[in-house]
Amino acid sequence: MNLPLTEARNTCGSADSQVVATKLAALSHPARIEILKHLSASRSCCCREVVDHLDLAQSTVSQHLKILVDAGLVRYEPDRQRSRYQVDREALAGLSASLTTLVNSCCSGC
């Protein structure tokens, strides 16, 4: 597990904080967490599948998916009239690593 983060120690790195914050914001909604779980359970999902699973309007689910895609946590691939959404495991692992790094930097100071 190599961490690609080189400036994790920078206490003044507001740019870094901004990037991490944006990705965490994408995960800071229960519906989107559920979507992520569901996506990972199936190999790939179309929007309709998620709609059936979540009891939200189709437009709402589509927006949540878009937010996840924009954050780089989910990959999107149009497939005929369907859409195919897939968890970007590397990106998710990277975010997890970022948070771990933050936690470690918080715990190393004492």
Residue 71 within binding range of DNA, rule CB under 7 A: no
Residue 58 CB neighbours (<10 A): 12
Cα separation, 110 vs 95, whole angstroms: 24
State which of residues 2, 55, 78, 81 lies at the interface with a copy of itself (CB under 8 A): 55
Which of 59, 13, 92 is CA-nearest to residue 51?
Answer: 59
- Indicate the residue type of 72: G
- CA dist., res. 87 & res. 42, Å (int): 10
| Per-residue contact flags (x/-) with DNA for residues 7 to 46, judged by CB under 7 A | -----x------------x--xx-x--------------x
Tokens encoding 38: 């569901």
Question: Footprint of DNA on this chain (CB under 7 A)?
Answer: 12, 25, 28-29, 31, 46-49, 51, 56-60, 62-67, 76, 78, 80-83
Question: Footprint of a copy of itself on this chain (CB under 8 A)?
Answer: 5, 9-14, 17-18, 20-22, 24-25, 27-34, 36-43, 53-56, 87, 89, 92-93, 95-96, 99-100, 102-103, 105-107, 109-110
